[in-house]
């Protein structure tokens, strides 16, 4: 299912993959300061704002924070983002979907009673739009999504998403930074992998690979002219936006 928005856009910013409570606070606030300075027209959060760690299928430490605590941190961060830009949309990622999946698997009787993501994060009160997991937001032919396809190496995951969509795509999910183009006789489309805002050191499942991952912190901004969409990647290094 697709939600459409025909409005012409000046500049939008995409943020993704915070993985609260494993977010990198310095990176998150570097991105928010950048938004404050550049005043984009709209912000899109492309999923995995929450980690939902306690519902992970992987090995977990019961002393880690609860979903309720994750939600409190997320609401604070969303309020800062909302102060920096009036128009904010949250598109769910697979980590938000963990909550729904867990309830339907282990407590289906509680479906409809357990809080949904908009309820958990007070999105109505904050004035933030919501796109549920499995849906995408299309803005002037640019597909904004968390994404489901992962391939090795920056740019390879979004190539798959562009192949499926047949359109320009900005995706989260891979935690890598990349811009790739694809042209045929008729048109050129562009794809972006949007980086991440998490703290690799805190992500437990990376311990198996000695904490090493082919990930890059950052985010993207997009503008549109008569030639179509053009993105700029903003890499974050040690709490600073360096590009």
Q: Would you count residue 17 as binding Zn ion (CB under 5 A)?
A: yes
Toward Zn ion, which CB reaches closer, 48 or 165? 48
**Do strands 218-225 and 11-15 pair parallel, antiparallel, or not at all (unpaired)?**
antiparallel
Identify the CA nearest to 158 among candidates 148, 92, 45: 148
Q: Would you count residue 92 as binding Zn ion (CB under 5 A)?
A: no
Name the strand (E) or helix (H) holding 84. helix 67-84
Toward Zn ion, which CB reaches closer, 17 or 199? 17
Name the strand (E) or helix (H) holding 91. strand 88-91
| Window contacting Zn ion (CB under 5 A); options: 41-49, 65-73, 115-123, 224-232 | 41-49
Using CB under 5 A, pick the residue from 24, 48, 161, 193 that binds Zn ion: 48
Toward Zn ion, which CB reaches closer, 102 or 223? 102
Toward Zn ion, which CB reaches closer, 11 or 213? 213
Distance CA 109, CA 106 (A): 9
Largest CA distance in the chain: 56
| Window contacting Zn ion (CB under 5 A); options: 48-56, 81-89, 206-214, 221-229 | 48-56
| Window contacting Zn ion (CB under 5 A); options: 40-48, 60-68, 123-131, 155-163 | 40-48
Q: Would you count residue 199 as binding Zn ion (CB under 5 A)?
A: no
Sheet holding 142-145, edge to edge: 2-5, 136-139, 142-145, 168-171, 188-194, 177-183
Task: Please count the helices (runs of H) and the strands (runs of E) in the chain.
Answer: 6, 13
| Window contacting Zn ion (CB under 5 A); options: 11-19, 81-89, 157-165, 201-209 | 11-19
Question: Which residue minimizes CB distance to Zn ion?
Answer: 48
Q: Which residues bind Zn ion (CB under 5 A)?
A: 17, 48
């Amino acid at each position: 299912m697709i939600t459409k928005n025909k409005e012409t856009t000046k500049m939008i910013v995409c943020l993704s993959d915070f993985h609260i409570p494993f977010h990198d606070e310095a990176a998150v606030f570097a991105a928010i300061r950048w938004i404050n300075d550049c005043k984009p027209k709209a912000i899109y959060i492309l999923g995995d704002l929450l980690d939902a760690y306690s519902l992970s299928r992987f090995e977990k430490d019961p002393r880690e924070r609860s979903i309720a605590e994750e939600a409190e941190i997320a609401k604070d961060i969303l309020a800062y983002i909302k102060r920096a830009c009036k128009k904010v949309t949250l598109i769910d990622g697979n980590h938000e979907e963990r909550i729904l999946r867990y309830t339907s698997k282990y407590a289906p009787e509680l479906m409809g009673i357990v809080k949904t993501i908009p309820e958990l994060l007070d999105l109505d009160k904050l004035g933030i739009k919501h796109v549920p997991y499995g849906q995408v937001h299309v803005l002037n032919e640019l597909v904004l999504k968390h994404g489901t396809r992962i391939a090795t190496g920056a740019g390879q995951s979004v190539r798959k998403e562009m192949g499926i969509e047949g359109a320009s795509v900005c995706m989260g999910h891979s935690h890598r930074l990349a811009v790739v183009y694809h042209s045929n006789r008729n048109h050129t489309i562009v794809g972006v992998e949007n980086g991440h805002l998490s703290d690799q050191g805190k992500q437990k499942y990376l311990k198996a690979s000695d904490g090493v991952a082919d990930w890059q912190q950052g985010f993207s901004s997009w503008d549109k002219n008569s030639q179509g969409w053009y993105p700029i990647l903003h890499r974050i290094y040690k709490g600073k936006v360096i590009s």
